Amino acid sequence: YLGIRRLLKLFDKRPIVAAFTATATNFIVQDVIETIGLKIQAQDIPNANYNKDNLTLSMKCIWRTRKKEVIVSGKSYGVREITPAQQRRNYVKRDVEKYLKQGKKGVIFCNSISAINDLQNYLSKYVKDLEPEKILTFYGDMTREDKIANLELFTQEKGYVMLCTNAFGMGVNVPDIEY
């Protein structure tokens, strides 16, 4: 939205402009109004409640530094370093295994397609009782047909994991996501 005001100056007559969001803070709302030059006061903006009883958003901090792990095998032991990427994968693996045992379906957001592919390969290789075809993906560059197929599988069955970018959250309504 930061460049819209410059764009609007290109028009002889200003077009009608509207802005929509589901989760903007009061600070962001005021910033959008001022930046775009909207002809409305913040208090006049309709604001519906977006809190949902069945929706919980949680974030887990996963280490950003290398850590050491002691490996004991018989009478010998060793120390190995675990990278932050390995720590993240191990953490996700534990959660996926826990929820799969309960027959739950879940969504894991990743920040890139390569992160999705990396996690998909890791989970299919190391998570017990998770068939690779139950690890679904959803991101912007997928074909429409693949997105529809994966979304249909995910909405109709239990025990699936959806690895996705934020493209998944736009307009997707799946009521029984449990993690």
**Residue predicted with more confidence, 131 or 52:** 131
3-state secondary structure 73-134: ECCEEEEEEECHHHHHHHHHHHHHHHHHHCCCEEEEECCCHHHHHHHHHHHHHHCCCCCHHH
Tell me the mean pLDDT in the region 20-31: 78
Please determine, for residue 78, whether its predicted confidence score (pLDDT) is greater than 70: no
SS3 72: strand
- The tokens describing 162, both together, are 């959806």
Residue 96's contacts (CB-CB under 8 Å, 6 or more residues apart) are 106, 108, 123, 127, 130, 161
pTM of full prediction above 0.85: no
Residue with tokens 């690895």: 163
Q: Does residue 120 carry a pLDDT above 70?
A: yes
79-119 pLDDT tens trace: 667 777 787 888 888 888 888 888 888 888 888 899 899 99
Highest average pLDDT, of 8-22, 135-149, 162-176, comes from 135-149
